[in-house]
Amino acid sequence: MIEVEHLHKSFNGTIAVRDISFEVNKGENLILLGTSGCGKTTTLRMLNRLILPTSGNIRINGQDVRSAQPEKLRRGIGYVMQQTGLFPHYTVAENIAIVPKLEKWPKEKIAERTRTLMQKLGLSYEEQAHMFPHELSGGQQQRVGIARALAADPPILLMDEPFGALDPITRQKIRNDFKEVDELKRKTIVMVTHDVQDAFALASRICLMDKGSIVQLGTPEELREQPVNDFVSRFLKGEYN
């Protein structure tokens, strides 16, 4: 469903992503894992054209993303940003409704969808829909960010450190809840994390990166049982976190 071929990105001579290729199958959860600065976010943001590659190809359902209109492309791809990226002056409900509004859904349908999603993500529509992001905890804000990305039911979801800013207990709780949300089970997801536990809890396959390159791509079991080198074993033991 997502095909990445020989993707390369340099910023003013600094190589951020170095000739990487991978595929993400429909319904898979591919985790881009690696140390800070290894090129995970740059890779993710090239998938929805927030960053343009220096060279290489990306196809989504066979279509080259360069031939798609950026706005149209992004409406079909939900995006959960680091640190939520919620609009501070929009209420929770208004934040969740951004894409459905762009899609000109009727008001009742938007309200119904917002209510359903908030409930699925463990939020209370009655109590929280009219609050502003700063009135919520970090974990609740993350849940709103995920609801917003899911609102128009895009088949693909890109998530950049969705649990990054949370304390370990909240992180584990949201991660567990996340696994149980039925809509997320159907999505093709590419998620960035530096956290080995996130990767093992959520990945269909892990793409472990270092210095812009892919070191190993495989199932969590493959990485654990057949690490290709010492870096992989040490990374999985948490020595780089």
Ligand X SMILES: Nc1ncnc2c1ncn2[C@@H]1O[C@H](COP(=O)(O)OP(=O)(O)OP(=O)(O)O)[C@@H](O)[C@H]1O
Residues at the site binding ligand X, with contacts judged by CB under 6 A? 11, 14, 16, 34, 36-42, 194
- Which residue lies nearer to ligand X by CB, 113 or 205? 205
Do 143 and 123 touch, CB atoms closer than 8 A?
yes
3-state SS of 187-230 is: CEEEEEECCHHHHHHHCCEEEEEECCEEEEEECHHHHHHCCCCH
DSSP-based three-state secondary structure for 95: helix
What is the closest distance, in whole angstroms, from the C-beta atom of residue 34 to ligand X in the complex? 6
Contact (CB, 8 A) for 69 and 75: no
**Which residues lie closer than 8 Å to 118 by C-beta, 6 or more apart?**
92, 96, 124, 125, 128, 129, 147
Q: Smallest distance, Å, CB 125 to ligand X?
A: 33
Q: Closest CB to ligand X among 16 and 215?
A: 16
Rounded to a whole number of angstroms, the minimum distance from the CB of residue 156 to ligand X is 19
Closest CB to ligand X among residues 117, 192:
192
**Tokens 């360069």 belong to which residue?**
66
Q: How far apart are CA 103 and CA 86, in angstroms?
A: 19
Q: Which is nearer to ligand X, 11 or 87 (CB)?
A: 11
- Quick one: how many helices (H) and strands (E) in the chain? 12, 10
Smallest distance, Å, CB 80 to ligand X?
Answer: 14
Measured from the CB atom, is 12 or 67 closer to ligand X? 12
Nearest approach, Cβ of residue 164 and ligand X (Å): 8
C-alpha–C-alpha distance, residues 234 and 231, integer Å: 5
